[in-house]
A and B are shown apart, each in its own frame.
Chain A
Amino acid sequence: MATNIAELDQEKDVAALEKESEPRGPETIADLESVSGQLKQDLEKTFRQDSLDIAALEKAAGPEAAPAVAASQELEKTAAELKEEARIRLDAVLAASQAAFESLSPEEKKQLHTTYQEIPAEVATDRLKKIPPEMQGALKVCGEVFQDCEYPWAMIGSNALVLEAETEKLGDDLDIIFAIQDFDQVYEKLEALEQAGTVEHLKVTEMKNLAGQANGCFKLSGQMKSGERLIDFEAFGQNIDPEKNKNGLVNIGLDEHQVNVYQIPDAKGETAAVNMMDKAGVEKLYFQNLLNEFGLYDLEGWNNRGFLNSKAIQRIANLQNLGNSPEKIVGALPEVGVKTEKAEQAKEVISHLWEGIKGGEYKGPGLTRTLGEKLNLPDNRYRPEKVVDFITKETGAQMKSISEIGKQAEAMEKAAENSLDPKALAEYDGFLKAKIGEVAAIRDRYQEYLGMTSSQDAEADFAPYAALIRLKDYFAQPALADLVVRKIRTEEKLLALEN
């Protein structure tokens, strides 16, 4: 066995040849998980990858940014070109679907893949009690912005979920989906609201998939002023084309959906009709997002979607809040339509995780129970959700910390790369030792949580367990391995200098 990295490097060529002769192609989930290079080709649809911020580009090229633009004419040109190209692509999307839509009557357009249910005033009043007045005011503004859309639109996410789910979790932002065909008129209304001061920081973003290809979707985002609050909003202009892919408004595979129409009042008591995706639609979206996000749950996935740990952990909690047991969630997965190989594989991964926790291997006192008691959370149906919130915040901060350590190590290594200064190398070595200790402590924390996990309380523990185990294996431990290798290399250098 080699005793140092220099010797290992000599062995590397032999190892590479051995690897070449190994059979190719994934055969198991474990194999599939490691084939992360496939990721970028596989993921066809996603709505969270911002790529072209037209408004920002516009600003960069506008008079307020004149000195910067003057300093870089090329930037101005590029920004203008990019903006123009994005507009050309948007027009191309609209033109491509024109033939499919021009024969439809206004009624048929409105009902494309969509049925509407007016919610009676007494039911609406009761359900809306869960939503704070300022959020209701913002929802009413959304109703006014989208009311003239020719095609279906709906609020999705927590605000839609809270109306029909057993949850105390309130939405803190506004998520809307609408047809790209209505883009221009929605943009004009939001622009008018921006001029009136109700909307701030209005932006247009062309969406791309992970392969970096424009997918025909454009996002409008910004902040909406309601009372004392500034509420973030994201309105996704979806590329629907009934002829091409039979997709409805939610173009990741949901064909038909019901929209519940609520009359929502503002502070003055004036109301507007607001479309809320119904429970079944919200549920289908969560299922699809869960699979897409778990499909990205490997090292390359962290690269592309580092925030997914918190997202995915919450999807499971959201689905449970809609009355689905983990058994039911796993049982429903085979029927969920997904468009990528990775997301298809995620079905197996999630089933496997559920088998892992319910199989009896975990004999702790219960993760949700233990943390619930420590945090003085009432022992009721909302406890798992609150524990998920707690863990999400903690792991989020730790992920950030580990990422920072990685960046610092990279920068220090570059600085010390060609250094023959033992002092600089010793300093870098000291940094690595300290950080290995820190990351190991974070990793041990996840291990500790896993030790609390109980197979007997599998239902309550499933959501945090599913994310923690992957965070430990795919984030903390690879970070540790990297720091240790850096440490060994640095110490070898130091030793060589001493000799």
Chain B
Amino acid sequence: MNMQQFENFQPPVSQAKHDENLDVLKRLGEERLAKELADCGVVDPKKLAEEILESPEKEN
């Protein structure tokens, strides 16, 4: 495969920005995050909110 096509990716957020975002979301709480996700039509907002707020390293 041609790897060139992958080389221009930028991450959606930097680590520092993600830490900041998580801080904000944790303070607002899981319920609020689930409500926001539900507002966007997410299928299982509660579960997703829980996973987003968990440490991503949990499974690693």
Contacts and interface: CB of A to CB of B under 8 A. Distances in A.
A299 B11 contact: yes
Contacts of A434: 40
A34 B18 CA distance: 11
Contacts of A5: 24, 28
A484 B13 contact: no
B33 A356 contact: no
Contact of B12 (A1, A433, A479, A487): A479
A479 B18 CA distance: 8
A481 interface: yes
Interface in A154-206: 172-173
A436 B40 contact: yes
B37 A484 contact: yes
Contacts of A4: 28
A354 to B, nearest CB: 11
Contacts of B55: 30
Interface stretch (A139-147, A248-256, A397-405): A397-405
A206 to B, nearest CB: 17
A307 B9 contact: yes
Contacts of B5: 307, 396, 400
A477 B52 contact: yes
A4 B36 CA distance: 13
A393 interface: yes
A482 to B, nearest CB: 5
Interface in A77-130: none
Of all A-B residue pairs in the complex, the 8 with the closest CB atoms, nearest first, are A306-B9, A307-B6, A479-B12, A302-B11, A30-B57, A473-B56, A406-B12, A436-B40
Interface of B: 1-15, 17-19, 21-25, 27-29, 32-33, 36-37, 39-43, 48, 51-52, 55-60
28 contacts: A1-B27, A11-B27, A12-B23, A15-B23, A29-B57, A30-B57, A36-B15, A37-B15, A173-B2, A299-B11, A306-B6, A306-B9, A307-B3, A307-B9, A402-B12, A406-B11, A432-B40, A433-B39, A434-B40, A436-B37, A437-B41, A443-B48, A473-B57, A477-B51, A479-B13, A482-B21, A484-B25, A488-B28
